[in-house]
A and B are shown apart, each in its own frame.
Chain A
Amino acid sequence: MRREVSHEIVERGPLVHAGTGRGAALEDPDRELVARWRAGDASAFEALVRGHEKRVFRLLLRMLGNRAEAEDVTQETFLNLHRHGHRFRSESRFSTFVYRVAANAALNRRRAIGRGRAREAALALQQAAGIDVPAGPADPENEAAGSQLRSRVHAALLELSPVLRLPLVLYDIEGLAYGEIARILELAEGTVKSRIHRARQALRPLLGALARETGAGKAA
């Protein structure tokens, strides 16, 4: 017997794609595409890939720390989705399933290359290529400082154990609600909350001083 879960989904923040919102759990925006894909329509799978590639890549970049690795695992994620799509049960939303497969791929990859080596590789690549490419036009004055700030935040994230980082990224960066994270990770909602709390506590020694500086800068 499976755990009873609330069907309420509350998504927060600007990063979540349009068309979802409170109470939208059963209204899967991908329902029709998934049905067409299962009926053998290859163009439906293509639409699903294009619709989800950004969120998968973003999650994997935050989890793995560099773009090359994130692209590699994004590809694996979609190949796995194609391979195991028959296991998707329509009682959850397709995006939940996508996140779950991506999270699994990220954890597998991290284990494969080892925590220490992953961090070194991530830092080396960050320095070589620059971790984040902002979508908007560059502001030359603040570009260097902003880039350094982002690198420090991201390096701090990579210090967290993946098991704490995953719910934190899904909540604070992806902007998902506790309920959906619980469904993605198949954990109790209370466990998700406590991990996010612990992740933030673990980040304090790494980011607290930076947060105070930027917070004070903002207040001034």
Chain B
Amino acid sequence: MNHADVQDRLGPYLEGELALQQRALVDAHLDACEACAEELRELRAMVDLLQGLPDVSPPAGLADRVLARVRAGEANATLLGRALGAVDAMLRPGVWTPVLAGALGAVAIVVLQQKTQPVAPVRSTLVVAPTPVAQVPAPPAVRRSGPPFVVRFGPTGALELQGTPFRPSHPMGAAADFESAADEVANEPRFPGPLGGAGREQWADSVREQALRYDLSNELDRSLRATSDRSAIPVDFPGSGTDPEDR
């Protein structure tokens, strides 16, 4: 094992997660290499520092204040929330699904019949970060064999995820697509990122953060996405005006 191999394994080594043979190889390297042994000591001490943060107690009366607000009706579901909850419940597999599908189909037929012009298919666009055009030397396109989306610079210079129509390609949903996109951005040297090459990882982090937030905050959206194609999924990005919570 070389230094890099060992350093990659120090975390699992510390947790006792390495297989016996791997552990023996790391042990052998650590016996001979003072630099890696020092790194292990530093890592262990750092984890000790984190674990040594004292336990904290919540402020006195916190639960009472929460419960008073609940009793005052602050936590009652809004009318919209209840309506969405009902839709959510109906979208779960069960007797309602065929009824709902039939109703949606009927609505779709009526809408289509009223259109005098044929409707062009909407190409979904998932704008994840505005990137000034001036910083973009050429619009690179990257396609991986896995997810059916393309990461590219759109006509306005914004970096986009595109699919037709957008539907999460990953069983985990859209957030996992963001994850893949973030990794793609982080590892693809042709993406300069908003801050140039050195900013790629930072940019990728921003995408990951959005993925996390998006996924955490949209349980209902996720169940909707699981059952329907959507032409676009707005994603928040500071200054982009596409914050899902602004809708």
Contact = CB atoms under 8 A, between A and B. Distances in A.
A135 B172 contact: no
Contacts of B120: none
Contact of B11 (A58, A136, A196): A196
Q: Size range of the interface on B?
A: 35 or more
Interface string A171-209: 011010000000001111001010011001001100110
Contacts of A53: 58, 62-63, 66
A136 to B, nearest CB: 8
A114 B108 CA distance: 42
Given A87-B85, A135-B54, A186 B175 contact: yes
Interface of B: 11, 41-59, 62-63, 65-67, 69-70, 74-77, 81, 85, 88-89, 171-172, 175-176, 179, 205, 208-209, 212-213, 215-217, 219-220, 236, 238, 245
A212 B57 CA distance: 29
Contacts of B59: 57, 67, 71
A215 B74 CA distance: 49
Given A133-B56, A163-B212, A71 B62 contact: yes
A72 B49 CA distance: 27
Contacts of B44: 215
Interface secondary structure of B, over-half rule: helix
Interface secondary structure of A, over-half rule: helix
Contacts of B236: 111
A94 interface: no
A111 B205 CA distance: 14
A90 B66 CA distance: 24
A207 to B, nearest CB: 5
A36 interface: no
A214 B209 CA distance: 33
Given A187-B179, A210-B49, A161 B205 contact: yes
Contacts of B208: 163
Contacts of B209: 107, 161-163
B45 A215 contact: yes
Contacts of A20: none
When A and B form their complex, which 5 residue pairs have the shortest distance between CB atoms, in order from nearest? A215-B45, A211-B45, A82-B75, A57-B58, A104-B216
A111 to B, nearest CB: 7
Contacts of A218: 45, 48
Contacts of A175: 51
Given A111-B213, A162-B209, A210-B49, A78 B66 contact: yes
A62 B245 CA distance: 25
A93 interface: no
Interface residues of A, number: 71
A132 B53 contact: yes
Contacts of B56: 57-58, 61, 132-133, 135
Interface stretch (A22-30, A44-52, A120-128): A44-52
A200 B11 CA distance: 9
Contact of A83 (B53, B81, B219): B81
B41 A212 contact: yes
9 contacts: A3-B171, A45-B67, A49-B67, A58-B56, A107-B216, A108-B213, A111-B213, A111-B236, A133-B57
A84 B81 CA distance: 8
A38 interface: no
A185 B173 CA distance: 13
A83 B54 contact: no
A75 interface: yes
Nearest to A114: B238
Contacts of A45: 67, 70
B213 A107 contact: yes
Nearest to A167: B212
Given A61-B56, A135-B55, A163-B209, A207 B66 contact: no
A35 interface: no
